[in-house]
Structure 1
Amino acid sequence: MATAVICGEWIVTTSGNKLTAVHTRESRDAFVFDCSQVELKPKEAVASDNSRDEGGEGAGSDAVLAVAASPSGRLLALTDDRKRLLLLATQPTWHLQSCRWVTRRCTALVFSADEECVWVADKSGDVYSFSTSHTHTHTPGHLQLGHLSMLLALVVTADDRYVITADRDEKIRVSHKSAPHNIQAFCLAHTEFVSALFVPPRYPDRLLSGSGDGTVKLWDYATGQRLQSLDLRETHQEESVCIKRITSSPDGHHIAVLCDRLPRLQLFEMTSGSEATPTQCLPLPQSPLDTTFDPQGRLWVLLDDKHTPVLLFTHTSQHWECVAEQPDLKRVSEALLTHSVPLPVEAGLRLQQLYKVGFDNTATYRQRKEQRLQERRDPSAPPQANGAKKPRQQHTSPS
């Protein structure tokens, strides 16, 4: 999985088992972190975990699964396929602060607004919180809440009052952060898995959600009221659209929506808390891996291209324009070309695998029923090879 996030003034990208951080404004050495160089869990602990793990997940690889930056940019958390939760500090220089282990492979991470905890959502539907101050290796996380299906997105509101979770079963749950068993509201309208959540900084009482049904919806999350629904299948004239990422500029005015496997980026503006207006669709040379805004409001787009790993867009004269020659872009591109590793072919299949396949379990019943009716109409017909009943014998009375 490849991601791009902003951590303070650094743009952080992940590719395979590598994390690369490049300063967006100053000429500094890039920070490169390799998960394969981190300590492994003791063998006896791994065996104990596997004995309790009904899913049989196995040891896994060192690939990064999820990454999140703290609001101040002071901390960055990531999880990998070996179920490690790594906490990195950016000051005074980048360094590994702690390595802990989670119960299941993680799907989403987020810091609390006060940066005291990292909230971790996993594939089994549980959410744990890990303290950022207790960095001992064996300090466990605290189970906070759970869903009945895989969790795909997780956010904590800016006032630290609510934690919002979304799962594969189309549900968005708004829970009180101090008492997660106390559910404030549900936001229910999507018809496929909910893959992206975002609270706009300009309107902290609103929630944007994206789904495999191709829609972006705007909510008053405290009441569960849906305020707007935008169908990107109509915008992009595609039968199948899956929302992969929703993010915004620091001032919350510009919203960027990235769709899985589509070579374009949809931009919106939020001029009020009740409506998002489509403004521009940016064509791209290929389907992007991820996108993020930096503190200056510039839009970075991560690509899987060995010649052009990243694009930079700036907003001028009411339009977004691609910057071709710029020192910051050149520095970031050179660092990514030097340190990133190629992505496997299956890296982009995760969201496509979340669609539920329909199964008609009445088809066989209807077929056999039709065969029985046919046999009654024509008793001389031979029995069917699929196990249908033989035709009844005709009995004649003796003369």
Structure 2
Amino acid sequence: MAHIRIFGDRIAIGCNEVLYIFSRQTLQTERRLEIGEMIRDRGLDKNGPYSTSAERQILGLAFSPSGNYICCLTSAKVALVFSVQENFYLHCQPIRLPKAPTAVVFDNKEENIIVSDRAGNVNRFEVKRQPVTYPEGKKWMDINGEEYNIPFHALLGHMSMVLDMCLSEDNQFILTADRDEKLRVSRYPQAYIIDHFCLGHESYVKSIQTFRKGAFTSGGDSVIRAWNLITGKCIAHSERLSEDPVRHLRILGDEDSIIRIAVAFEKSNVVKTLIFNGPENIFVEDTIFKAPENIFDLAYHPDGILFVLTTKNAYQVSSKGEFISFDGPYGENRLIRLLEEDLKISADPIEKLEKNVAFNNMEEYLQRKEERKEKRKRKHEGEEEPKKLDV
């Protein structure tokens, strides 16, 4: 899995187990942080030896609202928060996560990160500069009553996997999208108050973007829906954009509520852009671009430039639709070859997001069971045998 995020003059790319920081102006690498090594050096990798590239991934990435911090979620169930102003040193102690994460966001005060996970839960974690000491034996409980030794505050839970999550711009609402075709709008931080279930998608909801009091969603049905967060109503929807599911959508709005939308699709090199006319509530298809390789992620800079991350490289898209690679316009980038290698071995942790509702899935169940047994066996074989005591 690979991600690209932009804030100010910095472009952050997370892929494999590595975080890259690029300059927006020169497209040159400023930092390369070995996230996997940091976790292993601190003894935080409790999952045993990795067997596939899908188990060595950065699963989420987010800048804080001020751009002073960046949070990185990992497949080792650890969140790392770095201080951008302090040369990307760790801002606080690594944060243990109870389940494998899917998305992360900072609140506006930048005192907490909010993390969604594959179990359908959304939890809040304090971002403290100084370690907090808790009473010995203290337990924390998730939304289902399961106890952990990890400090967190349970916000809400879904019956299925949460695929994306974000806060509204004013932090009044927390939006969660799941595998069961719905967008849920809850109060924040009183997330037990559910304002709306936004229904209408015919498949899983994979990507959410917010703008003022509205939101845009898409996913498996390849249709973009625009929602009013106050009423919970769908105010507009696009035509089906592709036979392929939507992987990510990104938006760029202006003061007149004319919103530019860029869409990437699963296992595809196509980028479609649309214009959403806010005053008239209509979608208009704009342009179609084709990247050199299949697309992992994409992001808008506030100046309107689109950046695309593919399975091989990162690109800036010109107004003519030309893909300018990060090692192209300003000379050889000494670390771009490492980025290419990390992108090659990046993989999605979940291959199929469509739910299997058939009754003849026993063979698939048995296969998953055998895979779990093999994984546990490898884990135990990697542990040292306990020493025998002399009697």
Which amino acid is 1:195 matched to? K
Q: Deviations over 1:2-58 (max 9, x none)?
A: 111113321111121011011112587511111222144988995xxxxxxxxxx76
Contact 1:89-1:96 within 8 A present in 2 as well: yes
Long gaps (5+) in structure 1 = 47-56, 362-399
Counterpart CA distance in 2 for 1:105 and 1:140 is 16
Contact 2:10-2:23 within 8 A present in 1 as well: yes
Report 1:83-102 matches (<5 A): 83-98=77-92, 99-102=94-97
Contact 2:5-2:62 within 8 A present in 1 as well: yes
Match of 2:273 among 245, 261, 267: 267
Contact 2:18-2:342 within 8 A present in 1 as well: no
SS at match of 1:30: strand
**2:213 aligned residue:** 205
**1:359 aligned residue:** 358
Identity %: 22
Counterpart CA distance in 2 for 1:118 and 1:329 is 36
TM-score, length of structure 2 as denominator length = 0.77
1:249 maps onto 2:255 in alignment? no
Counterpart CA distance in 2 for 1:294 and 1:171 is 29
Counterpart CA distance in 1 for 2:36 and 2:7 is 22
Contact 2:39-2:45 within 8 A present in 1 as well: no
SS at match of 2:202: coil
1:9 maps onto 2:9 in alignment? yes
**1:179 aligned residue:** 190
Counterpart CA distance in 1 for 2:173 and 2:209 is 13
Give how far 1:216 is off. Answer: 1.1
SS at match of 1:354: coil
1:278 maps onto 2:285 in alignment? yes
SS at match of 1:321: coil
Contact 1:113-1:156 within 8 A present in 2 as well: no
Report 1:1-399 matches (<5 A): 1-25=1-25, 30-40=30-40, 46=46, 61-98=55-92, 99-134=94-129, 136=131, 140-200=151-211, 204-232=212-240, 235-236=241-242, 238=243, 241-249=244-252, 251=254, 253-273=259-279, 274-305=281-312, 309-315=313-319, 320-322=320-322, 324=324, 330=330, 335-343=335-343, 347-348=347-348, 350=350, 352-360=351-359
Give how far 1:212 is off. Answer: 0.7
Quickly say closer, same or farther: Cα 1:333–1:268, change in 2 above 3 A: farther
Contact 2:204-2:219 within 8 A present in 1 as well: yes
SS at match of 1:114: coil
Deviates more, 1:285-294 or 1:341-350: 341-350
- Measured on the aligned residues, the alpha-carbon RMSD in Å equals 2.9
Quickly say closer, same or farther: Cα 1:346–1:90, change in 2 above 3 A: closer
TM-score, length of structure 1 as denominator length = 0.76
Counterpart CA distance in 2 for 1:10 and 1:102 is 27
Counterpart CA distance in 1 for 2:7 and 2:49 is 30
Counterpart CA distance in 2 for 1:67 and 1:230 is 28
Counterpart CA distance in 2 for 1:2 and 1:331 is 24
Counterpart CA distance in 2 for 1:91 and 1:332 is 27
Quickly say closer, same or farther: Cα 1:325–1:288, change in 2 above 3 A: closer
Which amino acid is 2:88 matched to? W
Q: Deviations over 1:131-173 (max 9, x none)?
A: 2235538772211111111110001011110000011111211
Higher RCO by CA contacts (8 Å cutoff, separation 6 or greater): 2
Long gaps (5+) in structure 2 = 134-149, 361-391
SS at match of 1:38: helix
Quickly say closer, same or farther: Cα 1:45–1:263, change in 2 above 3 A: closer
Q: Deviations over 1:212-254 (max 9, x none)?
A: 112111111222211122233xx44x3xx21111112364732
Which amino acid is 2:237 matched to? S
Quickly say closer, same or farther: Cα 1:131–1:292, change in 2 above 3 A: same
Which amino acid is 2:317 matched to? F
Counterpart CA distance in 2 for 1:41 and 1:129 is 26
SS at match of 1:199: strand
